Amino acid sequence: MAETIGVERDLVLEALTNLSDVATSTADDLAELNEDLARMRRSRQLGSSWRHILSEPDTANPLSIVNKLAADLALACGGFRRAMAIGLRREGLAVTEIAGLFDVSRQRVGALIRSSGTGGNDETNAADPSLPAR
């Protein structure tokens, strides 16, 4: 039986929805980019110079498009990862458990949680006062 948790506002679900929206938009943009790249390839095979191909009015810069798509995905993925770490912590998982689920170090999880400004203590900080507060 699946465990359910009643939450007024589920920030993890919001971040997941955002990631899904960005992934869908990115997939659409990648399909359009693929068509542009095919046109560029055909122009080059027909003997056009790269300078001419890139200066055509209907040709977008493929490098800037890919960079933007990667940045959009990275931002949405980072938001989801951060929200998930916080959500799991609020559900009572230890930072080390979350690190195992994410396949990252406990320090990385701590940084994710700290970067959100939510703070929170974990057992590793309680055991070693020389570690930064979380």
Q: Please report whether residue 40 resides in a domain.
A: yes
Q: How far apart are CA 112 and CA 115, in angstroms?
A: 5
Is residue 29 left, alpha or beta, with left meaning phi > 0 and alpha meaning psi from -120 to 50?
A: alpha
Q: Given this model, what pLDDT does residue 8 score? A: 59
Q: Please report whether residue 2 resides in a domain.
A: no
Q: How many domains does one find in the chain? A: 1
Q: Please report whether residue 6 resides in a domain.
A: no
Q: Please report whether residue 3 resides in a domain.
A: no
Contact 95, 89 (CB under 8 A): yes
Please name the amino acid found at residue 47. Answer: G
Q: Please report whether residue 47 resides in a domain.
A: yes
Name the residue with higher pLDDT: 36 or 6.
Answer: 36
- pLDDT tens for each residue of 80-90: 999 999 999 99
pTM comes to: 0.71
Q: Please report whether residue 113 resides in a domain.
A: yes
Q: Please report whether residue 96 resides in a domain.
A: yes
Q: Please report whether residue 36 resides in a domain.
A: yes
Place of tokens 């960005």: 22
- pLDDT tens for each residue of 26-50: 999 999 999 999 999 999 999 999 9
Q: Read off the tokens for 54.
A: 């890139």
Q: Read off the tokens for 98.
A: 């979350």
Q: How far apart are CA 73 and CA 22, in angstroms?
A: 6
Residue 47 lies in domain? 11-127
